[in-house]
Structure 1
Amino acid sequence: MKAAAALLLVAGLLAGCSSPGEQADGPIELTWWHGQVETQAKVIEELAAEYGKAHPDVKIVPAVGTTNVDEMLQKVQAVLAGGKAPDIAYMYGTWMPHLAKNPKVYDLTATVQAPGFQWEDFWPSERAVSEVNGKVVGVPALVDNLAVIYNKRLFDAAGLAYPDKNWTWDDFRAAARKLTRDGVYGTAYPVTGTEDTVWRFWPMLWQQGGAIVTPDGKKSAFNTPQAVGALDLWSAMARQDKSVYLDQNGEKFLPLFQSGKIGMIVSGPFALLDIIDHKVSYGVQVLPGYNGNHESIAGPDNWVVFDNGSRRAKAAADFLTWLTRPEQDARWTLGLGNLPVRKATTALPAYQKFIKDIPDMDVFTANLDNARQARPHLPAYPELSEKVGNAIAQAMVGDTPAAQALAKAAADADTVLGRAR
């Protein structure tokens, strides 16, 4: 009887090592919130089924979570409060500072440092977004960057040579001015005041050696003469040259480019499939630069694991290790018109077909080497970005001088950063 009681006690203690609701053994079922629909969702379901066949002790259950990925963080935070979080969710890279503070977010540092994972195979900009204060919060699910997509037919009609990789922002302005005629704008800028406005401005700051915030993250650092000069350039193009289509809702400039009404756009690889569908003769070139620096910006998104017990979290991490291997990466990214998240994926035959089917996509892939920095890992960044976005819009749409707009944005950003301490 005493032996039986002892065994029951040990069993009880072992059961207590698991989180509430976690089984100590048996099959594991993982919920995967992906936020995708149609073709993307179908690929997700195929990958989940394939993993399940090879790992019969693990069942991956894909679920949309929310069809608007913009709302994924809010949705996850709501279910976390109720104790029913998914095991894996698709999250924007700019959310990593918020997620890093949540104890329910599983630390993936050991996962990516395992010999077989090959963390160094991911581009530096992806790793920089994934890591917050030495902790890996997520693994890359998608990566992009900004370059210039131009209409070859409009360049030919204007007698302009296509831009080369050494072009400057002055070259960009001159080309935009010459392209502007007969109802055609040389270029466009989304002046929504959102991050869509701001992330197009940061590369011009970085190219000149600037920074968004101080190294300690306590003060803004973007209000410099160089940044004022960059915003002055865009303001002059918009107000003096009349060569910029100012898109106040951010949804019109791409269709206008597709219809031949805009000569150049600063955009990412995500734009190319629609451009191809509209049969535009296009080219892609790296961003114009300052003093030979053509630094760009990447917008990586991540798969994040939530700790629903050690067995489930470990199984989710193992699944992401499989999902991000080159063969699976090719199916998830290349198959949907996105850049590979791993360098090794570019060695696969699938990548050669990818860049053949989507001309100049390889320019975007190579441009990942120009994305060397990440936006600040600060929970206050979204509010700081809003201040800068409004400043850019005021300088380009209104009559506010660039120096005045950025000075006010910096003062407001300092207030935001001070409040967040």
Structure 2
Amino acid sequence: MKLRKIAALGLAGITAVSLAACGGSSGSAGATAAGTTAAGTTAAAQTNTGAGAEPVTIKVSLWDYSNTAYYPIMVEAFEKSHPNIKVDIVEFSAAEYSDTIVVKMGAKEKYDVVFMKGLPEMSALIAGGHLQPLTDRITGFDMKPYGGSEKSLSLNGVVYGLPFRTDNNMIFYNKDLFDKAGVQYPEDGMTMEEYRELAKKMTSGEGAEKVYGSHVHTWPSNVYQYSRFIDEFNYLDTSTYEKLKPYYETILGMQNEDKSVQDYGELKTGNIHYSGVFYNEQVAMLQIGSWYIEMLTGNVTPQSEHYFKWGAVTLPNSKGNTYENMVGGITPCSIGAYSEHPEEAWEFLSYVCGEEGAKVIAERGIVPGWKGQSILDIFDKIPEQFPNAPEGLSKFLTPPNYIVEQPMDPNAKAINTVIEEMHSDIMTNSVSIDDGIKTAIERAKEAGAK
């Protein structure tokens, strides 16, 4: 397999999209310089490339390939089963990928397979005509293991991708800290008021010794997911923006009054990452995506400085919902519109987004898009290898309703920027919650929201 790196694009004037799916490269040691190619020989599907056929090379666009353990394993496995297809991975840095791929595809780069970090950039690529429809290809393809998440990858009735990964937002908590404080563990279906009180109880100490009851990361989704979880808020529908008010009231109360979460401004200016504060037992609870399972199993071990038992529960909400819904981002995978080898591209796409690829990433604690019984079994066996992990993690993988955090829309990126700016203004107390939401409604309508 060959790996080739490309120089980073200058992207001045282009706003990067910040998504929870950025956690997709959570296993990465750090961002690579934009652009690499990994060529691996994967096999031509036996229906397309016979044993004696000339090898075909497909180009696959990805981020952080060099720093993510499961990508090379997955490509190598594909190559082994498809010996007449070579895979050339074009690698970019995670931080710039969302904008870089839009620029690259706008220049009609001949990527055969395109991975995307989320649906806003997928929407932009579809709007530009840069992705091939897959509707005909999935005819007869078993879509049940995707649990409905694949429906979010269609626009105007046309399917443009398969889910490589899906995530579920949840509350992770440090059992040892709760035991030490003599406080009952968080429960599924908590109200926001109960969550706030629990965080207050778990806050202790001062200065460098302070332990915060919870941690609210800086993404807008770390507030709006609570409302999205019960299908209230939708960033494409401005009539739902008012639903965010009680959630902002709770989170600001925790920040400004209770001091049970760290200040948003301090997190931004200090570039404080959510992972370290939980690893180091500086917070008792953390609301983040299910990709954190992989991070915990890799970083909270008997060999690490801090080793503790951890658990997880569903998001607090006003309806007492538990496992009825799952809310999070999707990591889509598509065939590029300018692909020179679309048949081989489909072979790779259906492999990595199917059971074979799903097993590779599930064995590392990452939730795949394809979630058949074999994947559920893998997650339920995690405590056998990591005794500090909770039992029954599979219950977070297959709720009956999958709610994607950011539905596809041609104007998704512009609307998402409005939400990000509203969130920053409210969390820094620059505007009142009412004024922040009112301004966001006006600006989102101008950006194309209804």
TM range (shorter): 0.7 to 0.9
Tell me which amino acid in the other structure corresponds to 2:351.
Answer: W
Question: Match for 2:261 among 223, 226, 244?
Answer: 244
For 2:374 and 2:402, the matched residues in 1 are separated by 19
Query: 1:88 deviation in Å?
Result: 0.7
How large is the Cα RMSD of the aligned pairs? 2.8
Report the equivalent of 1:390.
421
Q: Secondary structure at the match of 2:240?
A: coil
Query: 1:207 deviation in Å?
Result: 4.9
Report the equivalent of 1:411.
442
Report the equivalent of 2:249.
232
Structure 1 gap segments, 5+ residues each: 1-24, 192-196
**Change beyond 3 A, Cα 1:273–1:321:** closer
Question: Match for 2:217 among 190, 200, 222?
Answer: 190
For 1:414 and 1:99, the matched residues in 2 are separated by 22
Q: Secondary structure at the match of 1:188?
A: coil
Report the equivalent of 2:191.
168
Within a 5 Å distance, the mapping from 1:201-240 to structure 2 comes to: 201-207=223-229, 210-213=232-235, 220-224=238-242, 226-240=243-257
**Change beyond 3 A, Cα 1:396–1:83:** closer
Query: 1:177 deviation in Å?
Result: 0.7
Report the equivalent of 1:72.
97
For 2:112 and 2:229, the matched residues in 1 are separated by 39
Kindly provide the CA deviation profile for residues 380-412 of structure 1, in whole angstroms up to 9, marking residues without a partner as x: 223323322333333333263322221122122
Query: 1:60 deviation in Å?
Result: 2.6
Question: Match for 1:381 among 412, 415, 421?
Answer: 412
1:159 has 2:157 as partner: no
Which structure is higher in helix share? Answer: 1
Tell me which amino acid in the other structure corresponds to 2:428.
Answer: V
Query: 1:51 deviation in Å?
Result: 3.4
**Change beyond 3 A, Cα 1:80–1:402:** closer
1:178 has 2:201 as partner: yes
Give the total of aligned pairs.
377
- Tell which structure's C-alpha radius of gyration is larger: 1
Query: 1:103 deviation in Å?
Result: 2.9
Question: Match for 1:366 among 380, 390, 396?
Answer: 396
Question: Match for 2:346 among 304, 311, 317?
Answer: 317
Report the equivalent of 1:255.
276
Q: Secondary structure at the match of 1:336?
A: coil
For 2:134 and 2:309, the matched residues in 1 are separated by 43
For 2:199 and 2:400, the matched residues in 1 are separated by 23
Query: 1:262 deviation in Å?
Result: 0.9
- TM-score with structure 1 setting the length: 0.80
Report the equivalent of 1:9.
none
1:293 has 2:316 as partner: no
Q: Secondary structure at the match of 2:402?
A: coil
User: Identity of paired residues, percent?
Assistant: 18
For 2:283 and 2:117, the matched residues in 1 are separated by 29
Question: Match for 1:123 among 129, 137, 147?
Answer: 147
Query: 1:350 deviation in Å?
Result: 4.3
1:306 has 2:325 as partner: no
1:107 has 2:133 as partner: yes
For 1:80 and 1:398, the matched residues in 2 are separated by 39
Contact 1:93-1:130 within 8 A present in 2 as well: no
Q: Secondary structure at the match of 1:108?
A: coil
For 2:375 and 2:72, the matched residues in 1 are separated by 25
Report the equivalent of 1:13.
none
Contact 2:189-2:315 within 8 A present in 1 as well: no
Query: 1:107 deviation in Å?
Result: 1.0
